[in-house]
Amino acid sequence: MSQKTLLTKGILKEIWFTTARSGGKGGQNVNKVATKVELFFDVNNSLCLTDEQKELISKKLKNKISDLGVLHLSEDRDRSQHKNKELAIVKFTKALEKCLEKPKPRKPTKPSKSSLIKVKVTKTKRSEVKSTRKKVKM
């Protein structure tokens, strides 16, 4: 199941938000308006995710997930609460997509002939240098 269908299936319905006063620019609004948006998502109790996906998310985003299994993201870049809410949703979807993305398998490669020759030449040079440092036997 792709991430796009995951989001359209209702994962956004399982998100809840809280707002708070945010610091930074904003003039007089800083002390009056709650523009900071905090996004919460209960990973453990999600109905849209499989157990495997829950485990992947818990592993990769462990520093953003509480002991109760709730993912917490906050956004306070903009002066508008509505814009911060949109930014938080974008941040959330990108984080989920990155977690559920399967990495490409690594293809092992052999060293090239020229690199093997180069290693051999440098080793012989180094051994010659070291052999000249030894005491001479008479």
**Residue 129 counted as domain residue:** no
**Residue 48 counted as domain residue:** yes
Per DSSP, 69 falls in state: S
Q: State how many domains the chain has.
A: 1
**Residue 136 counted as domain residue:** no
Instruction: Write down the pLDDT at residue 38.
Output: 94
Instruction: Write down the pLDDT at residue 21.
Output: 84
Helices 51-60 and 81-100, packing angle to 10 deg: 110
Closest CA to 72 of 101, 90, 94, 92: 92
Residue 30's domain comprises: 3-100
**Residue 77 counted as domain residue:** yes
Instruction: Write down the pLDDT at residue 5.
Output: 57
The rounded average pLDDT for each run of 10 residues, N- to C-terminus, in the chain (138 residues) is 58 89 69 86 89 90 90 89 92 90 90 96 95 83
**Residue 117 counted as domain residue:** no
Q: Write out the two tokens for 138.
A: 């008479």
- pTM value is 0.68
**Residue 12 counted as domain residue:** yes
Q: What is the CATH number of the domain that holds 47?
A: 3.30.160.20
Q: Report d(CA 68, CA 94) in Å as an integer.
A: 22
